[in-house]
Structure 1
């Protein structure tokens, strides 16, 4: 084999389909040509693809893997703003499972050496039978890319160089025992290495599931708080409407009393008129009095019926308002039960939804990384960027501001007796949702839990 054809380490890029298999393989120079716009991928048009950067040795064994996202537009061209340093991440990545050439270097969402690239990485599926790392290992072995393979035959010993030992030296008990001990020790070491790699793989999977579960719980908690506030506002509005109805009923009763008093006054005036008419004739007076009394009774009866109907309508509306109040209270209880039920569900559904999102604008904020802002959210982001980022981190705006102050200057904020700040350097909390005021921004001496234990 000439020097030009000598096998060496090769960089490759493999695309995963929605069904979970590998649908496209290419060498890294072809991937760079794709990023430069020289070629397009129409079959990936308007999709967000899961991609893996792999480093393959001359024996077709994987040494490093970086799992990342790549967005394509409607013409099949990749995102022009994509700028993830794959080689840098692969070099600084942590240890992963053994795929045949020792523990690989693995960079993914839950194990990212550069925090601000974490939002653009994804975690592989490590479930038995659906292991993405096994798919990559098998694809490298198939060698669809036609990589040069290291020739192991040259390392074999030529037959003519073999020497036959004399027959009296064929059996050596001590040597056989030594060889058996070496084989046993080698097997034990391999078993320990396999067990350690399995533990490493399971810890990586647990870390990924835990992070997704925490994000789902934080989102559900925020959704429940928003729904509770909305229902409380509706209840407050119904209470106000109920008070207005009661005030209106009282006003109507006052009007009815005033009109009854007015009718009484009119009746008294008519009575006076009747008395005056008695002087002109008894028969005419009786007729007029009978007519006036009949008209008065008719008017009073009609007014009483009308106001009784209005009062009955208001009473029905009042009862309906009270029924709506009771229904809203029952709805609050139902939402609380649904929240408790959803809190125990798996976080895999949120990953499926995130995979279908499209990137329009990208901004960077500490704690949230590079955020993808949909077109319909641009106005809300411009009005209050801090509240938008806090919502993406599933915390309140106040908690995110407190965490940001801690993130920029991770030191104890407790006040000493002389009024000065403690300012002892402390560990930085990288995630806003894990930040607790009085705990995360204080040293061990000034934490709230430490003060409680000291007092007790």
Structure 2
């Protein structure tokens, strides 16, 4: 075998989808994909889970890096992608033994370079869906045509043999030596398996913890959004109820005033009637008749006046509602005109830039470099902080508070003198792990410490 054909370590890249491994390629092909020489329409407008694999001549894995790669609507790779895969693989921590000793493993929960952590993902380690096992089996199938070294068995060289001194020759005990070797071999195998199992379980625990934190952050954000919506609806109902109570109070006051006036009039008429009864029964009947007629007329007039006032208020309410509807329609029309004008100007330019291959990438602490799709440009322009907070699975308020802590990691507690504590504290790198009253305070001012001190 010539030196040029001697098997060497091979770099390869593997694509994952929901069913498992869907594509394999050598690293030069992957570089051509990054350079835009070739496209992959089958992965258009998707973020793919991928793995960089270093394979030795015996088709055994030595290093693995699990990373993300975005593709645009034409299937072209993200031109801003620049992960140093070989550097990450060479400096990664130890992983499980896949046949050639513990591999070097770089993933989201075990990343040697912290600022690249958000661009990595954790492999699944569940039985039956273990991504490392899928990688091992795919490499063994050798679909990439890796050059295999069949002459790996070391040849015994006579010059390297050593002879024991004659005074140490003795008849060995084969049974005892075999038992010792077997016992030592079993003990070594047990230690290796135990170490591998511990390493695999630690990696699995770290992966599940990260996934649990992301799920908790997403559920917390959803609960906060629902709570804000419920509070807004309750506030609106309280306002409507207060207005209705004020209207009822006003009408009740008017009615009480009218009843009081009727009562006074009745008393006056009764006095006049009693005075007339002393003079003549006939005059009393006439006055009684006049009194009842006038009373009924006044009651009817009062009822008609109240009905007229209620009708006027109904008309005013209907007119007010109509005005609100017209104003809302006018606002919607102005919004549509604004969107049409904006679409005729900025969006046409953005669409032309997008067709030319321009990718809109921004950086936000905690979220990293974000590739913004064309359809999200308007939402990002309206509120960049809200957009970045959604990518980190936290609310905008929590993201702003975390950003202040991230830029200046000092204690925000207020001393008795009125000044800020400002003692340096550990920076929380992830917004979803930031807890107000805990992460932004030193050990003396944390909420938990104060509660324990009070109790």
TM-score, normalization by structure 1: 0.69
**1:429 partner SS:** coil
**2:125 partner SS:** coil
Distance 2:305 2:416 in 1: 75
**2:49 partner SS:** strand
**2:381 partner SS:** helix
Distance 1:450 1:386 in 2: 32
Distance 1:222 1:86 in 2: 34
Q: Tell me how far 1:15 sits from its aligned partner.
A: 1.3
Say if 1:392 and 1:302 are closer, same or farther in 2 by CA, change over 3 A.
farther
Cα shift readout 1:46-76 (whole Å, capped 9, x = no counterpart) = 3322211100001110011111222223332
Say if 1:231 and 1:440 are closer, same or farther in 2 by CA, change over 3 A.
closer
**2:7 partner SS:** coil
Distance 1:252 1:423 in 2: 59
The residue that corresponds to 1:352 in the other structure is none
Matched, 1:66 2:38: no
Q: Tell me how far 1:446 sits from its aligned partner.
A: 6.2
Distance 1:141 1:392 in 2: 38
Cα shift readout 1:126-179 (whole Å, capped 9, x = no counterpart) = 111211111111111111111111122663559xxx9xxxxxxxx955354234
Cα shift readout 1:402-443 (whole Å, capped 9, x = no counterpart) = 544544455667789999988776543322333345644555
The residue that corresponds to 2:16 in the other structure is 16
Distance 1:197 1:119 in 2: 26
Cα shift readout 1:321-348 (whole Å, capped 9, x = no counterpart) = xxxxxxxxxxxxxxxxxxxxxxxxxxxx
The residue that corresponds to 1:181 in the other structure is 180
The residue that corresponds to 2:190 in the other structure is 191
The residue that corresponds to 2:333 in the other structure is none
Taking the TM superposition and a 5 Å limit, the aligned residue runs for 1:348-387 are 361-375=360-374, 377-387=376-386
Matched, 1:240 2:227: no
**2:83 partner SS:** coil
The residue that corresponds to 2:31 in the other structure is 32
**1:155 partner SS:** coil
Q: Tell me how far 1:389 sits from its aligned partner.
A: 3.1
Q: Tell me how far 1:249 sits from its aligned partner.
A: 2.6
Taking the TM superposition and a 5 Å limit, the aligned residue runs for 1:108-187 are 108-152=107-151, 155-156=154-155, 172-187=171-186
Matched, 1:92 2:91: yes
The residue that corresponds to 2:3 in the other structure is 3
Q: Which has the higher contact order (CA 8 A, sep 6+)?
A: 1
Say if 1:231 and 1:17 are closer, same or farther in 2 by CA, change over 3 A.
closer
TM-score, normalization by structure 2: 0.69
- RMSD of equivalent CA atoms: 4.4
- More deviation in 4-13 or 204-213? 204-213
The residue that corresponds to 2:230 in the other structure is 231
Distance 2:434 2:75 in 1: 41
Say if 1:419 and 1:75 are closer, same or farther in 2 by CA, change over 3 A.
closer
The residue that corresponds to 1:389 in the other structure is 388
| Matched-pair contact (CA < 8 Å) for 2:220–2:394 | no
Say if 1:106 and 1:236 are closer, same or farther in 2 by CA, change over 3 A.
same
Say if 1:431 and 1:60 are closer, same or farther in 2 by CA, change over 3 A.
same
Distance 2:220 2:148 in 1: 54
Say if 1:90 and 1:244 are closer, same or farther in 2 by CA, change over 3 A.
same
Say if 1:428 and 1:46 are closer, same or farther in 2 by CA, change over 3 A.
closer
The residue that corresponds to 2:433 in the other structure is 434
| Matched-pair contact (CA < 8 Å) for 1:119–1:370 | no
Q: Tell me how far 1:5 sits from its aligned partner.
A: 0.3
The residue that corresponds to 1:166 in the other structure is none
Say if 1:94 and 1:75 are closer, same or farther in 2 by CA, change over 3 A.
same
Give ranges in structure 2 of 5+ residues lacking alignment.
Answer: 162-169, 267-284, 314-357
- More deviation in 48-57 or 36-45? 36-45
Say if 1:2 and 1:372 are closer, same or farther in 2 by CA, change over 3 A.
same
Distance 1:70 1:185 in 2: 47
Say if 1:309 and 1:133 are closer, same or farther in 2 by CA, change over 3 A.
farther
| Matched-pair contact (CA < 8 Å) for 1:26–1:145 | yes
Give ranges in structure 1 of 5+ residues lacking alignment.
Answer: 163-170, 268-285, 315-358
